[in-house]
Amino acid sequence: MGVAALSFKGAVGVGPRQGFGNAAASRTRENVPEAEWAPPSWDEVVREHSARVYRLAYRLTGNQHDAEDLTQEVFVRVFRSLSNYTPGTFEGWLHRITTNLFLDMARRRQRIRFEGLADDAAERLQGREPTPAQAFDDRNFDADVQNALDALAPEYRAAVVLCDIEGLSYEEISATLGVKLGTVRSRIHRGRAQLRAALEHRAPQRRRPGTRNEYQAAAAAAAQSAAETGEGERGAHAAAFAVPGPPRRHPQPEGA
């Protein structure tokens, strides 16, 4: 099966929210003696990780069309590189691939500066009923939060999503993005500050002194829960993001 045979658009798995690490992740070099270690098959990686890759791609790109394109690019890259994969865990590897491909896409678009919608995008937006996937996204994704994420610079968005939604540590984000720890802290701090400002409109119109807006209240409630469960600061900020899965479908190589 060649790379040209891969078809991933709109074909992402789903189920309960789960981490990257399942059967495929359990077979990393950290868990299996080197003499016995062998990379999982492409089909195993797709089956175990497609839903989480799509969710990360959606939070980074902010829309279904780009999330599907990014997910497909990720697994094309995995297909090409899987036989040579050796270091670390699959979840870290997939985080790096997904995030770096997103940043590459964002930089390309910043250089091109499109004026208006492309013809095919206009056709998708005009005179069409929503697809089941779009209807699922509309029901389950918080539009205010996603719009606030979309307004962040790509570098800030990636850092905030990896920390507050994916639950990576600052050290893991540093390794994923290839930047210094201080840069990670700065991007997360600034990204969170911009999110709070963008979500101020969700506060009640009339606030008594000392009351908090919805974002702050959600974060405070999550902080209490996080403190009890030991999840720490990331749990508090993650409460402001509702992160559902994509529509229930199963990825298959084209022609399978």
Higher pLDDT, 197 or 240: 197
The whole-model pTM stands at 0.60
User: pLDDT-derived band of residue 75, with 50, 70 and 90 as boundaries?
Assistant: very high
Collapse the DSSP code of 214 into the 3-class scheme (helix H, G, I; strand E, B; otherwise coil) and give the result.
helix
Rounded to the nearest 10°, the torsion over CA 48, 71, 236, 23 is 10
Where do the domains of the chain lie, and which CATH numbers do they carry? 1-114+124-141 (no CATH), 144-203+211-243 (1.10.10.10)
Mean pLDDT score across all residues of the chain: 69
The residues near 149 (Cβ < 8 Å, ≥ 6 apart) are 59, 62, 157, 160, 161, 195
For 185-205, b/e burial (b = at least 16 CB within 10 A) is eebbebbbebbbebbeebeee
What whole-number distance in Å separates Cα of residue 159 and Cα of residue 181?
11
Q: Is the pLDDT of residue 190 over 90?
A: yes
DSSP 8-state class, residue 39: P
In the chain, the N- to C-terminal Cα span, in Å, equals 10
Higher pLDDT, 232 or 173: 173
Q: Is the pLDDT of residue 195 over 80?
A: yes
What whole-number distance in Å separates Cα of residue 172 and Cα of residue 226?
20
Across the range 194-200, mean pLDDT stands at: 90
Higher pLDDT, 128 or 190: 190
Across the range 188-213, mean pLDDT stands at: 75
Higher pLDDT, 181 or 4: 181
Q: Is the pLDDT of residue 241 over 70?
A: no
**Cβ–Cβ < 8 Å for 56, 161:** yes
User: pLDDT-derived band of residue 80, with 50, 70 and 90 as boundaries?
Assistant: confident
Per-residue pLDDT reduced to its tens digit, 34-61: 556 666 777 888 888 899 999 999 999 9
